Amino acid sequence: MKTLLRILSLTLLTWSCGSRIQRGPECLTTALEGFQSWCCASTAHVDEYQFQGQLVYLFDPGTCGADMPTYVLDTQCDTLGFLGGFAGFTEIQGLDFAAHSSFQGTIWHN
């Protein structure tokens, strides 16, 4: 019985802590692997936004540390900039991100 409970627990743990991106370009999988090495153990997430006519991905590390930046990547996984952080950046490519973007959905969270 203990063995069955262990297997079930490991299965549920693996399923709930999924490391797979739900949608988006393949390069996001590699970007996520690096992100998971330093993001918070919980509350971290990757969100998809529409910005300047293209999809972009925000890698938000969560709330475990002060002044951690949220990286903004395009569909080729090139970094366009970052938001927040110590300086409280709000612009990407000279535009206020919040005013010029629309949330499409969360594609990963831990």
Half-sphere CA count of 52, side-chain side, radius 13 A: 14
CA nearest to 24, candidates 47, 44, 40: 47
Q: Would you state the pLDDT for residue 35?
A: 96
Tokens 């970007």 correspond to 31
What residues contact residue 19 under an 8 Å CB cut-off, 6+ apart? 32, 33, 36, 108
Distances (CA, A) of 8 to 16, 49, 110: 12, 36, 19
Q: Give pLDDT tens digits for 17-69.
A: 456 788 899 999 999 999 999 999 999 999 999 999 999 999 999 999 888 99
Q: Do 22 and 109 form a contact (C-beta atoms < 8 A)?
A: no
pLDDT confidence band for 97 (50 / 70 / 90): very high
